[in-house]
Amino acid sequence: MNQIKYRNTVVDGVSIAYREVGDVNKPTILLLHGYPSSSHQYRKVLNQLGDEFHLIAPDYPGFGNSDFPSPEIYEYTFDNMALTIQSFIKLKGLDSYAIMMQDYGAPIGFRIATANPEKVTAIITQNGNAYEEGIGEAWAGIKEFWKNRNESTEKALLPAFTLEGLKWQYTHGTRSPENINADTWHLDYLRMSRPNAHRVNLDLWYDYQSNLKLYPIWQEYLRENQPPLLVVWGKNDKYFPESGAEAFKQDVKKIDYNIYNTGHFALEENGDEIISKIRDFMNAL
């Protein structure tokens, strides 16, 4: 088994932490994490697929082990984080890669894909949404926040940043919470307890509405480019329900479509099955 490397590189003045494993001459998969996590969420993928593929998983600014610059210094928007990751890709010399995306990984990944369609060999989406149909009931409070950002609508969202709120992200919709490693939400809680963390994450939630405006562009990218698409989706996700997975069928003709009886972080409970699907999908390209 290849050894995972835990590395850092400076991108536009920000130290980006990333995990990397495998032979750079083999097909590359860029692993883009979700909220409130980091490249830690891909630890099973890195451990099991490093012998067959080149895998690289960066932490966004303010997430994981990357720098957490003040919001006065770094603008926490999806446009800006995507630009940072695009600069990271250039620094790493990645000219051809599949993108695996989950949650926040989708708006960052689709920005990268639409800017560089010739470089993207495939897309793997694990509850990474690109359709209005995929916006679930858990967005109700955030939609109120979008309509009117004020002290009241911000305060209503703060329970999500508590230890119990973060635990819910990982355990809701799972077959058994006992299947989920508690280190996941405890790590996220430590990071969410840093100065400026609540403000930055509220800024990102407010900016998330910019992603919905780009959905038609991402859908056009899918229709025009027809990238090979693997869907591995936890159907009990309250943020991105199965209707979001189903919607990809509108625009992509050939989909390897797989739905699992689990929640938002499907790799936690169905990692072995999903990783097997990734292996077969990538080897068939």
- Among all residues, which ones are annotated catalytic? 264
- Among 212, 208, 162, residue whose Cα is nearest residue 189: 162
Scanning the chain, the segments in alpha helix (DSSP H) are 43-49, 78-92, 105-115, 140-147, 151-155, 163-171, 183-192, 197-207, 209-225, 242-247, 266-283
CA distance 51 to 270: 20
CA distance 2 to 13: 30
Q: What are phi and psi of 57, to 5 degrees?
A: -130, 100
CA distance 195 to 125: 32
Q: How many residues does the chain have?
A: 285
- 54 to 18, 28, 45, 118: CA distances (angstroms): 13, 5, 11, 19
Strands 97-101 and 54-58: unpaired
- For residue 208, the SS3 value is coil
User: Which pair of structure tokens corresponds to residue 22?
Assistant: 């495998």
